[in-house]
Amino acid sequence: MTSLPETTQRKMGLVIDLDTCVGCHACVVSCKGWNTENYGAPLSDQDPYGADPSGTFLNRIHSYEVQPDQGAAQLIHFPKSCLHCEDAPCVTVCPTGASYKRVEDGIVLVNETDCIGCGLCAWACPYGAREMDAAEGVMKKCTLCVDRIYNENLPEVDRVPACVRTCPSGARHFGDLGDPDSDVSKLVAERGGMDLMPEQGTKPVNKYLPPRPKDQMDRPAATAPKPDGQIDVLAPFLKPVAEEPKGFIGWLDKALEKL
């Protein structure tokens, strides 16, 4: 039934740390690897070795340049997959009941044998989390690796989504965001975890941790004490070697200047 549950017992989801993600795309590869051979239809590729390759992915990594009013621009790698929204617009628009949100853990899933491939759920999703598989004609989306997290055939350490398990920089965290005492909830509280497109009213379960300010590489005086009183011990070594050219180069510089 495509009516959304009033509440879910748990809110399983991801917390993605934009401060530590290095943009290596390992989670993309592990996601595609696990999900192409497990839950539902495989994630097909079209023309994979040809001139115009494309394919179905449940997790994609964008990179953004953010330019503050003052100071250097920051490059931020930005993983994006289904946010398992509490108020998931993709579920209610489904005409067949193929899309549903689970009461027990809040995971949004597609029952592929009921999906007619009309694409309306992908239209309703603001995040681009759903992709129609071009070979199967059914809608694919992140399952939060529902076939891993409860899978007692796997060692306990592997009972997390494939993307979380593989992330080399620890930028992805998995847990119950409905429990205020869970590690992920504490992390969100401590780091000011945020919603994407809150104005769309989807109430995403997944949270993003904002990037922290980078070191002030373009600070005017690198040797000056930092505002917190600490002295940067490396600063003297990083000072420019020669402010003004001296010797022959200095003479040449002045001579050419006068020409």
Partner 1 sequence: MHPAPSVIIFTTLSGLGFGLLFWLGLGMPAVTGWVAFAFFAIAYALAVGGLLASTFHLGHPERAIKAFTQWRTSWLSREAWASVAALVIMGLYALGLVFFDARWSVLGWIGAGLSLVTVYSTAMIYGQLKTVPRWQSPLTPALLLAISVSGGALLAGQVTAALILLPIAAVVQVIWWVRGDTALQTSGTDMGSATGLGGIGRVRAFEAPHTGNNYLLKEFVHVVGRKHALKLRGIALVLGYAAPVVLLLLPFGHLLALLAVAAHLAGIAASRWLFFAEAEHVVGLYYGKR
Binding site for partner 1 (CB under 8 A): 1-3, 18, 28, 52-57, 60-69, 73-76, 78, 80, 89, 91-98, 114-120, 122-128, 131-132, 134, 136-139, 194-201, 208, 210-211
Phi then psi for residue 214, to 5 deg, are -80, 170
Contact predicate 134/56, CB 8 Å:
yes
In the structure encoding, which two tokens stand for residue 133, read together? 């598989």
Compute the least distance from the CB of residue 130 to partner 1, in Å: 9
What pairing do the DSSP bridges indicate for beta strands 12-17 and 207-209? parallel
Compute the least distance from the CB of residue 55 to partner 1, in Å: 8
C-beta of 117 vs 236, nearer to partner 1: 117
Neighbouring residues of 130: CB distance < 8 A, sequence distance ≥ 6: 82, 90, 121, 122, 139, 140, 141
C-beta of 165 vs 207, nearer to partner 1: 207
Compute the least distance from the CB of residue 253 to partner 1, in Å: 37
C-beta of 46 vs 223, nearer to partner 1: 46
How far is CA 103 from each of CA 28, 78, 91, 129, rounded to the nearest angstrom? 28, 29, 13, 20
Compute the least distance from the CB of residue 160 to partner 1, in Å: 22
C-beta of 138 vs 160, nearer to partner 1: 138
Beginning with the edge strand found earlier in the chain, give each strand of the sheet holding 12-17 in spatial order: 172-176, 12-17, 207-209
Compute the least distance from the CB of residue 218 to partner 1, in Å: 14
C-beta of 169 vs 200, nearer to partner 1: 200
How far is CA 83 from each of CA 79, 135, 180, rounded to the nearest angstrom? 11, 25, 18
Where is 163: in which H helix or E strand?
Answer: helix 162-166
Of 94, 108, 60, which is closest to residue 205 (Cα–Cα)? 108
Give CA–CA dist 23/69, Å, rounded. 25
C-beta of 120 vs 154, nearer to partner 1: 120
C-beta of 14 vs 149, nearer to partner 1: 14
Compute the least distance from the CB of residue 120 to partner 1, in Å: 6
- How would you class 83 by CB atoms within 10 Å of its CB: exposed for 0-12, middle for 13-18, buried for 19 or more? buried
Of 135, 175, 131, which is closest to residue 14 (Cα–Cα)? 175
Compute the least distance from the CB of residue 45 to partner 1, in Å: 10
